[in-house]
Each structure stands twice: as C-alpha cells, then as structure tokens.
C-alpha cells in the first residue's frame, strides 16, 4: 500500500479567538482535505499549538500557492510555522558507539520502509558497525573522539552532517557528550535517548544509580539535546518493571528494549512534525 | 479551584471539505473561546467526528442563541450532534450487587467531587450496601431479581431510573444480565464493566477461563450494553500481569483493581462527551 | 472460600552452602507442607533471603515446637527471622488527612475481607472522614497538627497506636511529615505512599514539579518511612501516561488512581511478610 | 564481564513432603553454590515444579557425578527433569518470511552476545534476508513453500534442522502453518510469536480482527507450537494501547514492537530453562 502525498502544517502562536477558523478557512477555500488535525491551548502561557495533515493533491491551488496563502494568516496571528511535504524524505544522520540495539532497530525500520527516511550516513567513534551499515548501502564514517581532539572531532562530524544536508541527528546510544558548539548550532535537530527515566538518574551510569536506589521500574527518555546535560525537552518516555533479583547487567539488558522502543517512537513523532517545543517542554500530538 | 462553566459540542457527520471551517466560524463569530478541540476522520466509512469544549461565558450571544446558530450548520452537514452544559450535572444511577470495589471507588470519586455528577439513587439486587450508600445521603433501592421475576424486576428498575430522570446507568459489577427490553430502551446510556479483556472470555466466570487458558495478562473492559451479551461498543480496556503462581482467587483480586480503574475512566469519558459511537466501535477523544 | 491457617517463615542471613537444605530439612522432618517458597541470594553483600509459606496444620509437631526447632538453625546460620501465623490478624492503623482515595480504597478492601486485617482505629488531623470511618465500626481519632503542637501531637498519635497494639502504621495520604522521634520508634512499621515516581520529585508538590518538567509518565511510590524525607526503602512503584494536554489538576487526578493501587499492593506485600529490608533497598517476593 | 559456568536443574514431579529437602541436600552435600532457586506447587493437579541455578565449579564432585547423584532422587520422586550446562550453547534455528523486525531484533541480540546462543542457520521461504543473514556469517537456506510442495518443503526444513543438531526452532514471523508432522516431531522445541493477544483473534489477519472489534489494546503472544493452530502453551504476552485514530496499518506497526519484545523475552525464558510445560499451560520462573 502506498501512502498518498501529504502536507503537514504545524505552528504555534499566541492564543486568541478565531485561529482555528482562520486556518480551516484557508484550507477549505482551496478544498484541502484534512486527514488529521490536532491542537492544544496552553493555559499558563496562553499559547496555541496546532498540526494539520492534508492530502496534497486535494489542494486546488497547488502546494506553493498554499504556502503563500498561509503565510498571510501566519503573519497576522504571529505564528511560528512550517509546512512539510511527505514527498521530500527527511535526511537523518545516526550517531552510534558500540551498543547495537538502537542501530539494529532503526536500520530494520528503515529497511522495511516503516521509517520512510533517508539515512545519508552513519557516524561512529568506533569501527564496530562499519560492516553492518555498509552492507545496508549506507556510508559509514568513523570519527574517533578523545579528550584531546573533542572540539575538532565534533567539527568534523558537523562537516559530515552538513555535507549531506542533514536535517535530524539521532544519538542512537552515542556515548559522547556533544560540545556546546554543536548543541547550539543544531538546536532542535538533535535527538538523544537517555537510559533513565529522567529527571531521575541524570548523568553517567544511570542503571547503576537505579540499582543502588532499589527502584521497582526503570525507564528511558527520548529528548532534544540542549547545552545542559540531560535537560533537553522530553519527547517520549517509558518504563519496565524490575525487582530485587535483577542485577545491574539485567537492568542494562531490560533497558535496551525500552531505549530502542522509546527512541523509535520519539523519532517518528519528530519526523512527522508531531512535536512542538514549548519552552522546556514539548507538545506531542498523537 | 472552581472550574468555569463549559459547553461541550460533539457531533459526527459525513466527511467533506469545510466542516471544521464551518464549525469554527460559528464559534469565532460569537467570540467563543475554545478550550479543547478534537476531531477524527474515519477513512473506511467516510464519517467525521468532532468535539469542542468552550468557555460558556465567552459566547457573546449566550448559550441558547448559540444552540440555534449551530443547529443551522448541523442541518446543513447532516450532523448527529449535541451540546452539553457543565452547569447541569449528569444524573448517574449505579446498579450494584455484592462486590464492593467499583461502588467504593465511585462513591469516593463522587464524595471528593472528582466526579462532578449527581447520584440520585443506587439500585441493587441485594441489601449488602444499603448502609454505606445511605450514609452518603444517597437513596438505596433493593430490587431482588429471580428467574421468575426478572422481567418485572427490570421494569421496576426502569421505573426507578425514570423517576429520577436518570441519564446514565452504570453496572458497577451488577451481576444480572439486563433484559433485551431494558437494553433497547436505554440504548447508549448503559455502561458495564466486564471482568475480562474482551473479546476474550465472553460470558460467565472469565477469570476461571483465563486461569484455564494460562494467559499472562488479565484485563477488564468498559463497554456500552447492547442486546448481544458482552458485545457492546468498547470504551476502555486495561490489563495487569499475572503468572503461573496466581490462582483464580488471585486473578479475581488483581482484576478488581483493573475493573474499578477501567470503569472510572470509561465513565468519565462518557460523562465528558468524549465517547462517540460509530457502529460497533467508539471514537474516544482523549 | 476459607483460606487454611498458614505459617510464614521469613529470614535473611549471610549466604553460604546449605541454608536451603537446613531449612527444608527442619520443615520436612515435621511433615510441613510448603505452599510457596522464594529465596534470593544477593551477590554484592553476600546475603541470603528466604520466605516459606506452610500449611500450619501439616506440622506434626505443632506451631510452638516448630518455632523452637527453627530457632536452633536460625542461631546456627545467624538469621534475622520471624514466623507469622495467619490466624493472628495484623493490626493496621491508618493515618489520613483530607484526601479520600486511599482511605476509601483500603476500607473497601477491608470490608470485603480482601485485606484480612484488623483496623483498630483511624487517626486524622482533620474531621473530614469521621462519619465514614465510624459507619464502618472503626474508631476515629482526630489529632490536629499545627507548627506549635507537632511534637505533642505525634506523641498523642503514638499513644493511640500503642494503646491498640498497632503493628503497621499506614500513611494513606497523610499530609504531615512525621517527627524523627516517631520515625525512629516505629522503624520498619510505617508505610507511606508518595505521590511521585521516586527519586524524582522529592518533597512538596511533586505533581507541580512533574508538570513543570514535562515528563510523559507520572508515578507513585510506596516506601517505608525513615528519618530522611522520602528516602525510605521502596516497596512498590507504578506509573501512568500523561501528555501535554494534562494540567496539574489532571495529574493529581490520574495520580490518585496510581497512589491507591500502589499503596494497596505495597501494604499487602508487607502484611504477607514478602518484604525484607536490605540496607536502603527491599527484597519483595512475588 | 564474563559469566561463570552454570548448571541449571529443572524438573516437575508429583507434590509431596520433602522434595525441596531432598534436592537441596544433594546439592549441599557436594557444596553446590545456589545462584537462583524457584519453585511452584500447583494445587489443582498436585504437581511440583522447581528450577535451581548453580555455579558449576562449586560442585566438589564434578558435573557428571552430580548428574548421577541427582538421577537417584529423580527416580525416587518420579521427576521429569533435566540439567543444562551453560558452557554448551544452545543451537537455535530461525525461520523467517519477509517481515524484518523479529529477525533484526534477534540478530542484534546475538551479535552483542545478549543472547548467548549459536544460530547454525536461518531458513526462509523467501530470499529477502539472505544478504543480511550471510553478512552475519550465518548460513541461509531458502525453502519455498507452495500449496503443492508443503509436505516436502517441511521435510526439507526438518532435514536442515536435524543436520545442524537444532535444539530450538523459532518462528520469527514465519508466515506458514507448520505441518502436523513437524509439530509432533519437534514437540516442545518450536516457539512462535503470534500477532494477537491470544485467545483473542486466533488465525489469520489478527490486526484486522482487532481493528474491526475496536479494542483499545492490541497484543502479541509467544507460545509453543502444537498441532492445534494458535493453541499451544503460552509463554509470554504483552499489549500496547491503541485508539480510534489508528488504522490497520498503524496496528501492524505498533504490533511489530510488541511482537519482537515478547518473542525475545519468551525465547530467553525458554533458553534459560525457566519454562516448564504443565498440560496446556506453562510455569515460567522469573
């Protein structure tokens, strides 16, 4: 089954009467067929968020004209907005280290077209997965990172990312902390999977911390990377039950299953423009 | 904290271009402030579902005029619609037997105003909970049901329900199968909690069936009551993990926790007009 | 169905070869019929934990003689041990404030004998639930707590608890921090339900903290009370999914359902001697 | 970290006084160090189940002598028993069709040694995954199955399985129903992942069935294959939440995540001798 071409409009703006009416009028005027529409009014900050998915071919005016029409009301309402076109696959660069689970999981989803993206390259600080990645026909770059070369190494990665016009950078259990320079430069484009249920167990060795604390559930958190470690906006989380008989190694093993599931869900939401950042939090439309 | 008066509009109609625009225009024209808005277009049947929650006091025209204005577009689009007013509490009649968990749970939510409803009476086929119910200041009617008096007993219950202008009938682990007459008469008003994860284990003794099958999760299902036993539209479900060491009595005990949680969530969704029936299924807006 | 009288042996001791053999020999020698048996060897601290549930009437020697026989091997292996007798119901004192959910939940379980305990009294710092508690035939004591009378108030509560030979004190959403004196005196007897997924959101207003952080799941934690606030050994935890559309009031409401379920499960595990404390953690035998 | 060599004893037998004592005595006599021990007495059938994991090197008598010693009490108690040795990796043959998720998942776990098994070959009715499997250094056999050649095709698969001394056959979303001959011949060795929460939605297209029914959770079931379709003993199950907005394609996509997680957990339990079959059900020791 092929999915028809879709346009996804997403925006936020100060809340006021008439936003939905204005947006739906501009769509209806061009006979736009709405597949999904979600919105959220945030009481505290009085900000309004909306996402509309339309059949591209239903628009009588064509896509470019629609963008122009929409730009007018976007200005009127002070919107922070974008329109994505499903016919243009997003370019997602994966960063990995030596752990396999998120990489295998994402490659499997890409191979089966469940994730309908381009992976222009995979970057790693180790050679471990060169063969697997290249077997999939995806270029693999090894950029070792040491305490001494960290700034240069990340600049090299940025160069590789820019060279393929990367749009999303996924830290698929990449075990190096990004430099502030990179965090700032690719703000809102870098997605990490952290191996704890944040805000518990920030930083290194969260499974050891969870084990020492004796928690009865462990979790994982998919979040945007910001300059403050493990403090970026949370996109998705999940947990799994553990008990006293589970050693740290068991927690690591259970955690891998949660990590890959949470990363895949969070990444998919981001790719479908379902995630709108709102200060230190996110709106994630189902 | 007091919640401001709200109007909740919910409807379904054949899908076509312009529904959201028409609805949001009629709201915006009267300066209606939208608190929540959800919609769903069902591809297979080409039917459109929508729910909008508004601040009642934001409408410049008043509530009655708004209903009139809306009726015009409702007719135009062939809508099945209603508008609920939060200032009119819904009248919910509980039917119980000898099991306590759902009754205690609902009374607790009512006592704390978490469920902002009227409970004009509780009806039971046993005297077990008369004291508890009456202590809460709620009238209690015992209507015994035997194989011989079933039709008359249910007519008596219908009479009691009608006498208090009942709007919702909740079978809170009420252990008698309703007569077809009652099912037909109160179509869409009767909510049951079934003690299995339907469609598994339809009918009697589902926990025994689950035990015999050796399933690793057991569940509960909140659904509308229709004339076909345990086949009504599903509103909400949940499950809990069990293992080989759990006897039927343990399943019953775990199940009680799921039953009361699922019933409370399903009932709340119904009371807030979040549930729209669609053939043998439901749309349940979060 | 009536449950036959059971003896529950639970202990921990330094791990070594032969513990299970010694314990099972002393049971087999007296023809003890084992219903359930669980054990756990903790690698890090080399400590061994075990729980055995037996049919009391299967012991050819009688219960008192069995205790004596067991005491000999308990000494040999340096065990920290106890034997509970199901024919002696545990006396559980509930402390509540103004929130109803845990109280209704526990009273319902007690009323139906799901929790086969005595509740010799309920203590509260408010009069809110006097009527409900007394209707159940349970004495209710109101002990107001103010900044000025805190020490005396808790001494009065201790007096009430001692007067009924309390064995377990349950803080069923009791909204006062216990004095260090009380924490020390009833060490291992006081069970609290904290309204967050600890160690996240320690202290006051955890749902506000969770809302501000934008987590995608909220939780509750049942733990023993120790002198350090919210740092006692965790017995049970659970979580529920939330999203951007949920306000603090919604989190509070969802949280109530998790709180009462987690408290009930944790309390039951404690009552059945399934919880063995191990430093700052617990072993909880299923 | 390397795991020390372990012996895993598992058995079931008629329940009676003294089983644990006899078993633990024979272990203690040879100074066997117990790492984990679990047991279960089934009331209805009066059958007893036990699993003990020991450090192989702790046995003063060596592994072979221990087997002999144990055989004596096994005979005495009428045990159905076995002892597995972690130094002998189990040989697991995977059967796949065109869906990638379970295969990628299991290969990833094998590559990282999370699953410490041998995969002597992968068999498929399609060529789809030859490259991926062979890249991992694992032989790949394509055995097409048509209505005409079904019996011969499965005999060929049996030949391939026998040729590598297969011990476990995993249907990792293998889309052909096994012949009764194969089911009977490899009884207790064949593990399937079914894409529904059994016993709901037996047979073909369970996600379509689930969609038509409007359930609010979908699931997957890992079970042994027996001659009756989808009726084998259940090893593990799990579910995921869905709603009205999810189309069949969405259910399939969510389902994949549950399927691979449930299959991996069920397979691991089987490989560690945690699963003991008991009539049409299983005992699964955590």
Q: Do A24 and B28 touch (CB under 8 A)?
A: no
Query: Given the DSSP bridges, would you call strands A168-171 and A92-96 parallel, antiparallel or unpaired?
Result: parallel
- Enter the DSSP assignment of C244: T
Query: Alpha helices, DSSP H only, in C169-218?
Result: 180-185, 206-213
Separation in Å, CA D144 to CA B62, C33, D129, D170, D184: 71, 55, 14, 17, 22
Touching B: C residues 132-161, CB under 8 Å: 132, 135
Q: Is C39 in Cβ contact with D37 (below 8 Å)?
A: yes
The pLDDT, as a whole number, for residue C274 is 98
- Is A244 close to C216, i.e. CB distance below 8 A? no
Interface test with C, best of D21, D43, D241 (most C CBs within 10 A): D21
CA distance C78 to chain B (A): 30
pLDDT score, position D139: 98
Q: Which of A18, A36, A286 sits opposite B28 (nearest CB)?
A: A18
C214 contacts A282? CB cut-off 8 A: yes
Residues of D in contact with C37 (CB under 8 A): 20, 39
Q: Are A265 and A222 in contact (CB under 8 A)?
A: yes
| C244 burial level (CB within 10 Å; 0-12, 13-18, 19+) | middle
Chain B: residue whose CA lies nearest to A18: B28
Is the Cβ pair C284, A213 closer than 8 Å? no
Q: What integer pLDDT is reported at residue A272 of this predicted model?
A: 97
A134 within 8 A of A210, measured Cβ to Cβ? no
Among A216, A234, A238, whose Cβ lies nearest the Cβ of C237? Answer: A216
CATH class entry, domain B92-284: alpha beta
| Chain B nearest-CA residue for A52 | B39
Look up residue A195 and give its DSSP letter. S
Please identify among residues 74-113 of chain A the ones whose CB lies closer than 8 Å to any CB of chain C. Answer: none
Measured CA to CA, the distance from residue C143 to residue C126 in angstroms comes to: 7
- Element counts in chain A: helices (H) and strands (E): 8, 13
Residue C114 structure tokens: 């799901």
Q: How far is D116 from chain B (nearest CA, A)?
A: 26
Residue B58 contacts A, CB cutoff 8 Å: yes
Establish if D199 touches chain B: CB-CB under 8 angstroms.
yes
Closest alpha carbon within chain D to A110: D100
* Among candidates C100, C105, C245 on the partner chain, residue whose Cβ is nearest the Cβ of B111: C100
Place of tokens 């009288």: C5
Distance from CA of B19 to the nearest CA of A (A): 8
Question: Which residues fall within 8 angstroms of residue A186, CB to CB, at 6 or more apart?
Answer: A158, A161, A169
Element (H, E) at C99: none
Asked if the Cβ–Cβ distance from C244 to A215 is below 8 Å, we say no
Q: What is the pLDDT of residues B120-169, one digit of tens each?
A: 999 999 999 999 999 999 999 999 999 999 999 999 999 999 999 999 99
Cβ neighbours around C267 below 10 Å, total: 26
The string of pLDDT tens digits covering residues C111-170 is 999 999 999 999 999 999 999 999 999 999 999 999 999 999 999 999 999 999 999 999
Identify which of D201, D216, D236 has the shortest CB distance to residue B234: D216
Is-contact B224 B63, C-beta < 8 A? Answer: no
Residue of D nearest to C42 (CA): D35
CA distance D120 to B81: 62
Q: Taking CB atoms and an 8 Å cutoff, what residues of chain A touch C200?
A: 197, 199-200
Assign B1 a pLDDT band (cuts: 50, 70, 90): low
Strands (E), A30-138: 33-42, 47-55, 80-85, 92-96, 122-124
Q: Which of A64, A80, A85, A230 is catalytic?
A: A230
Query: Tens digit of pLDDT for each residue in D155-193?
Result: 999 999 999 999 999 999 999 999 999 999 999 999 999
Q: Catalytic site residues of B? A: 230
Assess contact for C86 and C6: CB atoms under 8 A. Answer: yes
Of all residues in chain D, the one with the smallest CA distance to B236 is D216
Rounded Cα distance, B238 and D207, in Å: 18
Q: Which of C80, C230, C243, C257 is catalytic?
A: C230
Pick B43's closest partner by Cβ from D43, D215, D247: D247
Q: CB A264 to CB D243 under 8 A?
A: no
Q: What 3-state DSSP class applies to D8?
A: strand
The CB-side HSE value for B64 (13 A sphere, CA atoms) comes to 0
- Determine, for residues D215 and B233 on separate chains, whether the beta-carbon distance falls below 8 Å: no
Does residue A1 register a pLDDT over 70?
no
By Cβ distance, the residue of D1, D108, D253 closest to A101 is D108
Judged by a CB distance cut-off of 8 A, whether residue D10 touches chain B is no
Average of pLDDT values for A193-204?
A: 93
Adjacent-strand bridge partners of C171: C95, C192
How close, in Å, is residue B286 to chain C by CA atoms?
Answer: 9
Of D105, D249, D257, nearest to A1 by CB-CB distance is D249
How distant is the Cα of D245 from the closest Cα of chain B, in angstroms? 7
In sequence order, the 6+-apart residues with CB closer than 8 A to the CB of D100 are A108, A111, A112, D128, D129
Return residues 242-261 of C near B (CB < 8 Å).
243, 245, 249, 253, 256-257, 261
Q: Which residues in B52-63 are b (16+ Cβ under 10 Å) and which e? A: bbbebebbeeee
Within 8 A by CB and 6+ apart from C56, the residues are C4, C5, C6, C7, C63, C85, C86, C87
Q: How far is C284 from chain A (nearest CA, A)?
A: 7
SS3 A104: helix
Chain C residues 27-56 with CB within 8 Å of chain D: 27-28, 31-39, 41
What is the spatial distance between Cα B85 and Cα A237, in angstroms, rounded to a whole number?
36
Is the model's pLDDT at B59 over the cut of 60? yes
Would the CB atoms of C20 and D24 count as touching at under 8 Å?
A: yes
Is residue D27 over pLDDT 90? yes
Q: Which residues of C touch D3 (CB under 8 A)?
A: none
Mutation target vs C (from A215, A236, A275; most C CBs, 10 A cutoff): A215
> Sheet harboring C122-124: ordered strands across?
C140-142, C122-124, C92-96, C168-171, C190-194, C217-224, C234-241
Q: Is the dihedral of CA B55, B60, B62, B66 positive or negative?
A: negative
- pLDDT category of residue D49 using cuts at 50, 70 and 90: very high
Kindly tell me the burial class for residue C39, based on how many C-beta atoms sit within 10 Å of its own C-beta (0-12, 13-18, 19 or more): buried
Residue B44: band (very low, low, confident or very high) from pLDDT cuts 50, 70, 90: confident
Domain boundaries, chain D: 6-85, 92-284
Chain A residue closest to C48 (CA)? A245
From C33, which residue of chain D is nearest by alpha-carbon distance? D17
Burial class (CB in 10 A: 0-12, 13-18, 19+), B239: buried
Would you state the pLDDT for residue D43?
86
Q: With an 8 Å Cβ cutoff, are C247 and A197 in contact?
A: no
CA nearest to C44 within chain A: A247
Closest CA to D53 of D116, D11, D10, D87: D10
The pLDDT tens digits for A97-146 are 999 999 999 999 999 999 999 999 999 999 999 999 999 999 999 999 99
Q: Which residue has the tokens 């936020």?
A: A12
- HSE-CB at D162 with a 13 A cutoff on CA atoms is 9
Query: Which is nearest to C267 in space by CA: C37, C107, C52, C55?
Result: C107
Beta bridge partners of C118: C91
Listed in sequence order, the residues at least 6 apart from D154 whose beta carbon sits closer than 8 Å to its beta carbon are D145, D178, D179, D181, D182
Question: CB-based contact (8 Å) between D63 and chain C?
Answer: no
What does the pLDDT look like over B225-278, one tens digit per residue?
999 988 999 999 999 999 999 999 999 999 999 999 999 999 999 999 999 999
- pLDDT tens for chain C, residues 1 to 286: 578 999 999 999 999 999 999 999 999 999 999 999 999 999 889 999 999 999 999 999 999 999 999 999 999 999 999 999 999 999 999 999 999 999 999 999 999 999 999 999 999 999 999 999 999 999 999 999 999 999 999 999 999 999 999 999 999 999 999 999 999 999 999 999 999 999 999 988 999 999 999 999 999 999 999 999 889 999 999 999 999 999 999 999 999 999 999 999 999 999 999 999 999 999 999 9
**What is the greatest pairwise CA distance in chain D?**
63
**Do the strands C6-14 and C80-85 form a parallel or antiparallel pair, or are they unpaired?**
antiparallel
- Alpha-carbon distance of A173 to D193, in angstroms, equals 28
Rounded to whole angstroms, the Cα distance separating A61 from A30 reads 6
State whether C41 and D41 contact (CB < 8 Å).
no
pLDDT score at A195: 95
Question: B199 preceded by cis ω (within 30°)?
Answer: yes
Which tokens go with D141?
A: 């056999």
User: Which residue in chain B is spatially nearest to C255 when comparing CA positions?
Assistant: B261
Q: Give D204's DSSP letter.
A: S
Contacts of C213 in chain A (CB under 8 A): 199, 234, 280-281
d(CA B59, CA B217): 48
Are C234 and A245 in contact (CB < 8 Å)?
no
CA-based max dimension of chain B: 63
Compute the distance between CA of residue C54 and CA of residue C61 in angstroms, rounded to an integer: 13
Does the domain spanning D6-85 belong to CATH 3.30.70.260?
yes
For residue B3, what pLDDT is reported?
84
**Strand pairing class (B217-224; B190-194):** antiparallel
Alpha-carbon gap, residue D283 to D39, rounded angstroms = 9
Question: Per residue in C94-105, pLDDT tens?
Answer: 999 999 999 999
């Amino acid at each position: 089954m092929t999915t028809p071409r879709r346009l996804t409009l997403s925006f936020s703006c100060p809340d006021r009467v008439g936003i939905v009416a204005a947006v739906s009028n501009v769509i209806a005027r061009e006979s736009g067929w709405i597949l999904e529409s979600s919105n959220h009014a945030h009481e505290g900050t009085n900000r309004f968020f909306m996402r509309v998915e339309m059949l591209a071919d239903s628009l009588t005016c064509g896509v470019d004209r629609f963008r122009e029409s929409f730009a007018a009301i976007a200005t009127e309402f002070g919107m922070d907005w974008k329109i994505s076109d499903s016919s243009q696959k997003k370019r997602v660069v994966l960063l990995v280290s030596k752990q396999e689970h998120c990489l295998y999981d994402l490659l499997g989803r890409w191979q089966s077209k469940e994730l309908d993206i381009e992976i222009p390259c995979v970057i790693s600080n180790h050679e471990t997965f060169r063969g697997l990645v290249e077997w999939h026909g995806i270029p693999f770059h090894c950029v070792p990172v040491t305490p001494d070369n960290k700034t240069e190494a990340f600049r090299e990665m940025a160069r590789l990312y820019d060279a393929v016009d990367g749009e999303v950078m996924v830290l698929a259990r990449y075990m190096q902390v990004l430099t502030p320079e990179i965090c700032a430069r690719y703000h809102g484009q870098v997605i990490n999977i952290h191996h704890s249920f944040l805000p518990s167990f920030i930083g290194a060795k969260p499974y050891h911390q969870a084990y020492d604390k004796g928690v009865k559930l462990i979790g994982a958190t998919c979040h945007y990377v910001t300059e403050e470690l493990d403090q970026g906006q949370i996109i998705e989380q999940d947990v799994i039950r553990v008990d006293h008989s589970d050693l740290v190694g068991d927690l690591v093993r259970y955690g891998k299953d949660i990590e890959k599931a949470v990363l895949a869900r969070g990444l998919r939401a981001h790719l479908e423009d379902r995630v709108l950042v709102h200060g230190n939090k996110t709106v994630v439309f189902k």
